Chain A
Amino acid sequence: MSGLMEENMAKNEKIPRQQMPEQAPLVRKNNFNEVPKGYTAEMAIQEAKRCMQCKKPACVEGCPVGVDIPGFIKHVSNGDFTKAISKLWEKNSLPAVCGRVCPQENQCEGKCILGKKGEPVAIGNLERFVADYEREKQLATRPEKAEPTGKKVAIVGSGPAGLTVAGDLVLKGHDVTIYEAFHKPGGVLVYGIPEFRLPKEIVFSEVSGLEKMGVNVQLNTVVGRIVSIDELFEQGYEAVFIAVGAGLPTFLNIPGENLIGILSANEYLTRANLMKAYLFPKYDTPVVRGKKVITIGAGNVAMDAARTALRLGAETSTIVYRRSREEVPARQAEVHHAEQEGVKFHFLTGPTKFLGNDKGRVVGMEGLKMVLGEPDSSGRRRPVPMKNSEFELECDLAIIAVGAGANPLLTQSTDGLALNKWGYITADPETGKTSKKGVWAGGDIVTGSATVILAMGAGRQAADSIHQYLSWGW
């Protein structure tokens, strides 16, 4: 490290990282409004000034879509937010989403050099600020599109991977159509992630930005049922990108699991978020409103479900997880937010049976205490049940959030698409190419449940590969 750089670091460390103002825990646990309130312009400029403007920025390496982070932050520090959004849009068509839901601690911010001694630059908060500012002011112009190529591309699924590919390919002049099974676009961004973490308005606004650039979005279209992949080619599409996610809920397969009041997290969150059951009866879709709620699992989805339950009137909301706190897969910030709001955690606890009443409703869960044994194939220590540790936990709503598998609806109806033994699509990790000519895949349907930004990264690579194919062939 050069002397000058060390001097700069010392200087920049002195400015404290700007804390994001948040709704107070006891207030927010009763509403669906977004928890963090966002930076003011002054805070954003102040935070942007902490950036060292590294010559070889490590933060960019940590970003799966390669955003020019020092570049956009430089504009923020000058107060030129419109230039900043243009910079972001060069690499990321969904900055308002990414600024909110990326696990920055493992990505861009995890690599920030200021983080070595103090706190890293709040890259995610800045990205979010810039995107929110533009959404409100609408001052920037979208990047220039290339001349139309006359090539048609179909994208199956409008989640983060599909939206990224659409954004990239439309810029390169291709004619892009997204097919979405649901009546709203966004995939997990609208049915899964709750309003208090990611307001749906923001997702729809980002999608409408893509539509303004010329992307055609076809809702209510279940590819595999109403149209097959081969029929898409017959209709004149020259390339297809499959990004249908890992939307098959995993259940525990223990006795009593079909009692009323036991829902997959997918069902619970779809009712609450996409169907707006939290506004019932103004909206028609109901959802079980438990007083004593348990959520099985400890990923981000489990945190979302447990926090949603509180907002729907639960007196107690408890996470049941068979490993210990150290193995919790959710983002630290989510666990912290859940705890602040009063979510309780039962670690090293495994459910064995659900108990019901004569009306078929769940009234409790039986479980066993666990101890951690040897590491398993995933490298995590395997939980082993303790003898004679049976116990009961009362509940009137149980949410199963133990992961998702590959939904077979599309893959079963497509000939010539190689799958792995778990039913995920086999695709080249560099390009997203599948075994079927002209077909790419990316996101959770290839990797299994992962993160929004990894799905976007896969989309970016696939878009480059699709563009090459349309220009020069397979």
Chain B
Amino acid sequence: MFKIINREEMAEGTVILNEIEAPLIAKKARPGQFVILKANETGERIPLTMADTNIEKGTITIIFMVVGKSTALFKTLQVGDSYQDVIGPLGKPTHLEKLGDVICVGGGTGIAVLHPITRGLKQAGNHVTAIIGSRNKDLLILEDKMRAASHELHVCTDDGSYGHKGFVTDVLKKILNEKNDQIKLVVGIGPVPMMKFVSLVTKEFNVKTLVSLNPIMIDGTGMCGGCRVSVGGKNKFACVDGPEFDGHEVDFDELSLRLQAYLEDEKQCHDHFCKCQD
């Protein structure tokens, strides 16, 4: 059992942070890696990339948005409750090295995944510009932490309720126009459409781009291929070959379609859960 020792509602009751006791995972995890969590006996296995780890406390932190049955179930777990199963660290860590000027772009809860990578890139000696965005002010997370993890932070909201009005790609494009030659790497993490458009923008400028993919997963150890994605025309398993890939090589449209495989089932399961909660 993996006990929750800290819980925060970060936005409107839809974005939740859990700090979970998992000392062995905390010790081994590196930025970019994920865990698979299962709340209880009847639960499904859900992959979430770790937002943070604390070796001294022996904890890992996950941040998730409530979107379906399993995350709604996770939301009901309070401090002192436990996840039945937490498996990890899984996937390949982000390759962190000194490159020069880099840009980290995060959208929605993707900012949680982006944060340790941004911090890692700064610690490796890079000059880091961060661009984060969300639909509105209330859904924006980790602004302070991202400010501390970068040299320069730009904030956007789709509706203009805070920071720049518009998409993260607008700001990205502007910066790339100004200092294209200097930027050595762009990391983009967020919803699939955001990562797709970030990759399209950087492709124009020919800047190397890493994205962290979130396909459907079951085991997370490479034994089923449920998480397969087309990268450079080849099949890759995101759980063992990724989750990070070259954004210019990823077939985002296929990934979008595949993420919808169980939409109707997910709705049925969620409705069933809500009925039981009443």
A interface residues with partner B (beta carbon < 8 Å): 181-183, 219-220, 222, 225-227, 247-249, 251, 253, 257-258, 260-261, 263-264, 266-267, 270-271, 275-276, 280-286, 288, 359-360, 407-409
Answer yes or no: B260 CB below 8 A from chain A CBs: yes
- 17 sampled A-B residue pairs with Cβ under 8 A: A183-B38, A225-B89, A258-B230, A264-B224, A264-B226, A266-B224, A267-B218, A267-B226, A275-B45, A283-B42, A283-B44, A285-B44, A286-B265, A286-B266, A360-B254, A407-B223, A408-B240
Q: Are A181 and B221 in contact (CB under 8 A)?
A: yes
- In the complex, identify which listed stretch (B79-87, B95-103, B104-112, B143-151) lies at the interface while the others stay far away: B79-87
List the B side residues contacting A225 at CB < 8 Å.
Answer: 28, 88-90
In the complex with contacts A280-B265, A284-B43, A285-B45, A226-B254 CB distance below 8 A: no
CB distance from A280 to the nearest CB of B (A): 7
A-B contact count (CB 8 A): 112
Is the C-beta of B25 less than 8 angstroms from some C-beta in chain A? yes
Among residues of A, the one whose C-beta sits closest to the C-beta of B230 is A258
Complex Cα–Cα for A249 and B227 (A): 12
Cβ-defined contact, B258 with A181, below 8 A = no
Measured CB to CB, the closest approach of chain B to A156, in angstroms, equals 12
Q: Give every chain A residue within 8 A of B84 (Cβ-Cβ).
A: 183
Q: Are B261 and A288 in contact (CB under 8 A)?
A: yes
B55 proximal to A (CB < 8 A): no
Q: Are B218 and A222 in contact (CB under 8 A)?
A: no
Instruction: Give the distance in Å from the alpha carbon of A258 to the alpha carbon of B254 in the complex.
Output: 8
Known: A227-B24, A275-B45. 4 other contacts (CB 8 A): A251-B225, A251-B235, A258-B258, A270-B224
Contact (Cβ within 8 A) A183 B218: no
- Quick check: B85 and A183 within 8 Å, CB to CB? yes
Complexed CA–CA distance, A260 and B255 (Å): 10
Q: Is the interface of B mostly helix, strand, loop or mixed?
A: mixed
With contact pairs A226-B88, A226-B89 given, residues A280 and B269 touching in the complex (Cβ less than 8 Å): yes
Contacts of A248 in B (CB 8 A): 222-223
Residues of A within 8 A of B266 (CB): 286
Q: Which residues of A contact B44 (CB under 8 A)?
A: 275, 283-285
Asked if A270 and B90 make an inter-chain contact with CB atoms under 8 angstroms apart, the answer reads no
- Chain B residues closer than 8 Å to A222, beta-carbon distance: 87-88, 90, 221
A260 touches B90 (CB 8 A): no
A183 touches B87 (CB 8 A): yes
In contact, B85 and A409 (Cβ under 8 angstroms):
no
Contact between A281 and B225, CB atoms less than 8 A apart: no
Q: Which residues of A contact B49 (CB under 8 A)?
A: none
A286 to B260, CA, bound (A): 12
A445 to B88, CA, bound (A): 22
Partner pick for A226 among B28, B45, B69, B218, CB 8 A cutoff: B28
Interface residues of B in 211-263 (CB under 8 A from A): 218-219, 221-226, 228, 230, 235, 240, 254, 257-258, 260-262
Q: B219 — which chain A residues lie within 8 A by C-beta?
A: 181-182, 270
Contact code string B23-59 (vs A, CB < 8 Å = 1, else 0): 0110010000000001000111100000000000000
Q: Which residues of B contact A409 (CB under 8 A)?
A: 221-222, 240
B182 on interface, CB distance cutoff 8 Å: no
Verify A264–B225 contact, CB threshold 8 A. Answer: yes
User: Do A258 and B224 contact each other (CB < 8 Å), given the known contacts A226-B88, A284-B70?
Assistant: no
A286 to B261 alpha-carbon distance, docked (Å): 10
Closest 9 CB pairs between A and B?
A360-B257, A286-B265, A267-B224, A247-B223, A284-B44, A285-B44, A183-B85, A281-B269, A260-B261
Q: Which residue of B lies closest to A250 (CB)?
A: B225
Q: Which residues of B contact A247 (CB under 8 A)?
A: 221-223
B87 near A220: Cβ-Cβ < 8 Å = yes
Complex contacts, B224 vs chain A, CB 8 Å: 249, 263-264, 266-267, 270
Report if B203 contacts A (CB, 8 A).
no
Asked whether, in the complex, the Cβ of A266 is within 8 Å of the Cβ of B258, the reply is: no
Q: Contact at A260–B257, with CB atoms within 8 Å? A: yes
Nearest A residue (CB) for B256 = A360
Q: Is B268 an interface residue (CB 8 A)?
A: yes
Complex: how many Å from CA A282 to CA B86? Answer: 21
Q: What are the residues of chain A within 8 A of B89 when measuring CB–CB?
A: 225-226
Shortest distance from the beta carbon of A459 to any chain B beta carbon, whole Å: 20
In whole angstroms, how far apart are the Cα atoms of A335 and B96 in the complex? Answer: 53
The answer on a CB contact under 8 Å between A275 and B269 is no
Which chain A residue lies CB-closest to B251? Answer: A258
Bound-state Cα–Cα, A275 to B40, Å: 12
Complex Cα spacing A182 to B218, Å: 10
The answer for the CA separation of A225 and B240 in the assembled complex, in Å, is: 10
Contacts A226-B89, A275-B218, A284-B70 given: A263-B226 contact, CB under 8 Å?
A: yes
